[in-house]
A and B are shown apart, each in its own frame.
Chain A
């Protein structure tokens, strides 16, 4: 069964540093898609970045990048030059191509960026 696990409950960093959030997943599908979303204090959920399983190159968008380690079923999110406004809860999610549109989420990592 599909499963997404985020073991870090919370992380605290100083502004302008780099932070990495872990995520591991379980799937039997050979084709799948991995997403990171963030949920702000207001509850808004915003898409950040995506990795397609068949792509070897790590995705990068702005100051977000991914560390995709397929043999380890791992998709880490890296945020460089963190800002105060990056404080939020970050969710990893997976969609398996053969499972329709359903997205399976991890339980999130709360990031606090201090000045």
Chain B
């Protein structure tokens, strides 16, 4: 069973509404990832963190997407103004992060539906 906890499992929003989802990484894992998986099974990397610092992220020039991993709090991914095209499964994953060949541990995801 996954030890990466994502909430909520399902999120339904209207267009223009804010959508926020949370992730608690596996204990002891400092590296956290967010991916978007669309209905065609395409994975889109969004951002990753090591502890509270952003390591890599896509160009979020629209600024609708924001993410953070504060210390002693769940990580979060927020979409400021949801669009229909944002409907997808948002996956959080964590990793011990010490070596490049380490696998990711995934949560069950948050399924976002934008009506």
Interface set of A (CB-CB < 8 Å, partner B): 31, 33, 35, 37, 42-47, 50, 52, 89, 91, 95, 97, 100-105, 107-108
Among B2, B48, B101, residue most surrounded by chain A Cβ atoms (within 10 Å): B101
Set A31, A97, A107: member contacting B40, Cβ < 8 A: A107
Count the B residues whose beta carbon is within 8 Å of the partner chain — how many?
Answer: 26
Task: Kindly identify which residue among B2, B33, B42, B111 contacts A101, using a CB–CB cutoff of 8 Å.
Answer: B33
Say which residue of A44, A50, A89, A97 sits within 8 Å of B106 (CB atoms).
A44
Contact with A along B99-115 (1 / 0, CB 8 A): 01101111011010000
Question: B75-115 toward A: CB 8 Å interface, digit per residue (1/0)?
Answer: 00000000000000101010101001101111011010000
User: What secondary structure prevails in chain B residues at the interface with A?
Assistant: strand
New A-B pairs, 5, CB < 8 Å, besides A43-B109, A101-B97, A105-B42: A43-B89, A43-B108, A101-B95, A102-B33, A107-B40
User: In the assembly, what is the distance between CA of A42 and CA of B107, in Å?
Assistant: 11
Chosen A-B contacts, 12 in total, with CB atoms closer than 8 Å, are A43-B89, A44-B108, A45-B93, A52-B101, A91-B41, A97-B100, A101-B48, A101-B95, A101-B97, A102-B45, A103-B33, A107-B41
Distance in Å from the Cβ of A28 to the closest Cβ of chain B? 16
A51 CA to B95 CA in the complex, in Å?
17
